[in-house]
Structure 1
Amino acid sequence: MRASELIEEHKMVKGLMAQLRAASEGGNTEEVSALRWKINRILLAHLAKEDRLVYPALISSGDRGTASTAHLISAEVGDLADKWRHYLSYWTVARIREDGEAFRAQTVAVEQALLARIEREEAELFPLLQSTPSDNPGRSGRVNAAGRA
């Protein structure tokens, strides 16, 4: 897996989150529901790649600086999938209709958490994929399912 692929997925998720925010502000619960499930499918698959492949590969890279950075970022932002699942399950269509203002506030909070993770990964983590030694994951920015380049 290349860092560029992960960055493209980040762009896709950011775009969908912006659409979700706009739809929620417009009160279109059908569009909100459809967007949330679309985001769910893409986001959870993306987070699984990062949390199960990228972070562990960098943590076990053999480079102390790389491992430390990956561990720190994972500890700080690694619970995003759980936050997203809670948000998705809590905010049913009925609940969104009942309290649209609170839903919009939660949507902004989830989006901010997602954007913070994306910024950290792109600024601090993904460059490590490019600079990891050739016998470790990602010399060319690639990590496979076994966490190897």
Structure 2
Amino acid sequence: MAMQLTRETLVDEHAELTAVIGALVEQAAQRPLPASAVAPLRWRLSRLLLAHLAKEDRLLHPLLQRGDDPVAAALSRRFEEEMGGLADAFKAYMHDWNGQQIADDPDGFQTATRGLAAVLADRIRREETQLYRHIPGATPPAEVDAGALRA
């Protein structure tokens, strides 16, 4: 059974990603840094983000790029091209900040986590306000409250 792609599903996934990265930012700010809370949040974020990106790659971008709307197709291609940088930044974050590096440099980890949160917040805001409105049958975009991630 094929999954139907809806704006609401993607926005719900963004809300979950926002909650997890927000919790990670909060944990990264604590001293002593609670490693037992940080590790599961990082891996949950990784699973959620990779699943979401795969859905966009397999369903959203092909839908918009093969559709009749040239504006949607061009916008989708631009977002798809930008995704490489975000994916690389996320992979580097996960690689560079393993348990030992986090323990050795909690302030650096906090800074890196806040930076990642800001990048994700910007991407979420732009997808929800610019890209997702082109999904066939999409409802108008609601206001995106991703600013809390920049704390």
TM-score category, normalised to shorter length: 0.7 to 0.9
Of 28-37 and 54-63, more deviation after overlay is shown by 54-63
Partner in structure 1 of residue 137 of structure 2: 140
1:46 and 2:43 are equivalent in the alignment:
no
Which amino acid is the alignment partner of residue 118 of structure 1?
Answer: I
Identical residues among aligned pairs (%): 32
- Distance in 1, matches of 2:40 and 2:90, equals 15
Distance between the aligned counterparts of 2:76 and 2:54, measured in 1? Answer: 15
Matched residue of 2:137: which SS? Answer: coil
Alpha-carbon deviations, 1:27-76, whole Å to 9, x = none?
11111111001111111101111123212321222321111111122223
Rounded to whole Å, the distance in 2 between the matches of 1:57 and 1:81 is 21
What CA RMSD, in Å, does the superposition of the two structures yield over aligned residues? 1.4
Alpha carbons 1:73, 1:120 under 8 Å: kept:
no
Structure 1 runs (4+) deviating above 6 angstroms are: none
Q: Is there any run of 5+ residues in structure 1 with no aligned partner, and where?
A: 130-138, 142-149
Q: Distance in 1 between matches of 2:83 and 2:118?
A: 12
Tell me the TM-score normalized by structure 1.
Answer: 0.82
What is the CA deviation profile of residues 98-133 of structure 1, one whole-angstrom value per residue up to 9, with x for unaligned ones?
01111111111111111111111100111000xxxx
Following the alignment from structure 2 to structure 1, what is the Cα–Cα distance between the partners of residues 14 and 96? 24
Deviates more, 1:59-68 or 1:96-105: 59-68
Give the TM-score normalised by structure 2. Answer: 0.81
SS of residue paired to 2:68: coil
**2:78 equivalent in structure 1:** 72
Q: Does residue 117 in structure 1 map to residue 123 in structure 2?
A: yes
Match of 2:16 in 1: 12
Give 5+ residue unaligned stretches, structure 2: 139-151
